[in-house]
Amino acid sequence: MKQKLAIIKIGGNVIENQEELDKFLTNFSKMSGPRILVHGGGKLATQLATRLGIKSKLMNGRRITDVESLEVITMVYGGLTNKNIVAKLQSKNINAIGLSGADGNSIAAHKRPKKEIDFGFVGDIDTVNSTTINTLLNGNLVPVYCALTHDGSGQLLNTNADTIASEIAIGMSPYFETTLYFCFEKKGVLMDITDENSVVKNINPSTYKKLLDEGVITEGMLPKLENCFHALKNDVDNVCIGDIGMIDPNTTLFTTITK
């Protein structure tokens, strides 16, 4: 029987709220067994860019990563945010190690090709180095990955944190029973956006289509659910979506995605 591994991605809503972040990290520190944390940077990169006089460029809600933006993202994601999380975990007796995809050649990617939109230094993942990650886990370390990958030729790339979490879960699935958690501000996928407790407890491909047809699932949730089904199709055992209480074993209100 495979050992269980939890891969948890937290969003900017958790990172930017120190009280919420501390609650999450307390729950995270109480989990048993090996685990991996993945995070983005939220609005902090945009705020720092503004202070430095660098204009953030967005297209359809997605960041255009030019050279200056990449420098800011690297400072915030790989530096300030990552190391603050690691330090907080150390204070909770979790021996965490902060990483980008370049560290240990963990996550290799390629620069997204120019099509209708040139996203700049945005990376699409090619490989996850499960050997490196296994070595860390076997050493009783808790990897904390920021949303940066590399192309193998010395170039860092800004990469979607949901995708990183999904691909790590897929890469580790031959060795572990993997559960992927997407942790954000809602208790799960909601039937009624105005009712925080109207959580859809289970979504499979059939109910997913129905929810799409009914307009329950909107644009913001689509990429997250696409990552969920992509992970399940590639042998990830379990995928869940919910708020910071989701990883508390006493919490039952969250969304489970199934094949």
Percentage of the chain surpassing pLDDT 70? 97
The predicted structure's pLDDT at residue 129 = 98
Q: Which of 220-224, 238-242, 248-252 has the lowest mean pLDDT?
A: 220-224
Which residues, in sequence order, are CB contacts of 194 under 8 Å at separation 6+?
A: none
Q: Which of 109-123, 131-145, 208-222 has the lowest mean pLDDT?
A: 208-222
Rg for the chain (alpha carbons), in Å? 18
Strand order in the sheet with 202-203: 96-99, 142-145, 35-39, 3-10, 176-183, 238-242, 255-257, 202-203
Q: What angle do CA 169, 36, 105 make, to 5 degrees?
A: 75
* Residue found by looking up tokens 């990172």 in the block: 15
Buried b / exposed e over 130-155, threshold 16 CB at 10 Å, is bebbbebbeeebbbbbbbbbbbeeee
The predicted structure's pLDDT at residue 60 = 61
The predicted structure's pLDDT at residue 143 = 98
- Give me the chain's average pLDDT, please: 92
The predicted structure's pLDDT at residue 218 = 76
The predicted structure's pLDDT at residue 42 = 67
Confidence of residue 74 (pLDDT cuts 50, 70, 90): very high
H helix and E strand count, the chain:
9, 14
The predicted structure's pLDDT at residue 149 = 98
Q: What angle do CA 139, 163, 122 make, to 5 degrees?
A: 110
The dihedral over CA atoms of 253, 176, 109, 151, expressed in degrees to the nearest 10, equals 130
Confidence of residue 160 (pLDDT cuts 50, 70, 90): very high
Say which CATH topology domain 3-184 has.
Answer: Carbamate kinase (3.40.1160)
Confirm if 104 and 131 have CB atoms less than 8 A apart: no
Question: Per the structure block, which two tokens stand in for 14?
Answer: 């958790």
Q: Is the pLDDT of residue 61 over 70?
A: no
Domain locations in the chain?
3-184
Distances in whole angstroms, Cα of residue 73 to Cα of each of 12, 37, 54, 154, 192? 13, 18, 12, 16, 34
> H or E element: which one contains 141?
none
3-state secondary structure of 55: coil
Q: Residue 257 is which amino acid?
A: I
Overall average pLDDT of the 134-139 stretch: 97
Give the span between the Cα atoms of 137 and 106, in whole angstroms.
13
- DSSP 8-state symbol, 248: S
Q: What angle do CA 227, 209, 234 make, to 5 degrees?
A: 30
Q: What is the end-to-end Cα distance of the chain in Å, rounded?
A: 21
Confirm if 198 and 230 have CB atoms less than 8 A apart: no
Per residue in 97-106, pLDDT tens? Answer: 999 999 999 9
Q: Is the pLDDT of residue 62 over 70?
A: no
